[in-house]
Amino acid sequence: MPQENTGPVHATVEASDCMKCHEDVVFTLAHKGKAHKEICLECHRGHPPADMQIIPECNSCHDEAGQKHFALDNCMGCHVNPHTPLVIKLTRNITTPCLTCHTGQFEQLQEKLSIHSKLACTACHNYHGQIQPCQNCHLPHSDTMDSNSCKKCHMAHQPLVVAYGEDIVSEDCGSCHTEVYGVMSENKTKHRGVTCVSCHYETHGMIPACQKCHGQWPHPTEILNKFTNCRECHGMAHDLMATDYITNVFRK
- Rank residues 147 and 247 by Cβ distance to ligand HEC and give the closer one: 147
Nearer to ligand HEC, 2 or 100 (CB): 100
158 binds ligand HEC, rule: CB under 6 A:
no
- Stated length of the chain: 252
Alpha-carbon radius of gyration of the chain:
34
Q: Which residue, among 223, 241, 217, has the nearest Cα to 231 in the 3D structure?
A: 241
Closest CB to ligand HEC among residues 4, 150? 150
Residues in Cβ contact with 103 at an 8 Å cutoff, skipping those fewer than 6 apart: none
- The residue (of 111 and 176) whose beta carbon lies closer to ligand HEC is 176
Tell me: does residue 36 bind ligand HEC (CB under 6 A).
yes
Q: Write the interaction track for ligand HEC spanning residues 43-72; mark x where CB under 6 A is met and - where it is not.
A: xx--xx-----xxx-xxxxx------xx-x
Site for ligand HEC in 68-87 (CB under 6 A): 69-70, 72, 74-79, 82-83, 85-86
Of 52, 50, 70, 68, the residue nearest 60 (C-alpha): 70
Q: Which residues are CB-contacts of 81 (< 8 A; sequence separation ≥ 6)?
A: 28, 87
Q: Which of residues 220-249 bind ligand HEC (CB under 6 A)?
A: 223-224, 227, 230-234, 236-238, 240, 249
Which residues are within 8 A (CB) of 238 and not within 5 positions of it... i.e. 6 or more apart? 180, 183, 184, 187, 191
CA distance 56 to 39: 12
Q: How far is CA 100 from the centre of its chain?
A: 17
3 vs 89 by CB, closer to ligand HEC: 89
208 near ligand HEC, judged by CB under 6 A: yes
Q: Does 218 bind ligand HEC (CB under 6 A)?
A: yes
Give, as ranges, the residues between 116 and 145 that touch ligand HEC (CB under 6 A): 116, 119, 121-125, 128-129, 131-132, 134-138, 140-141, 145
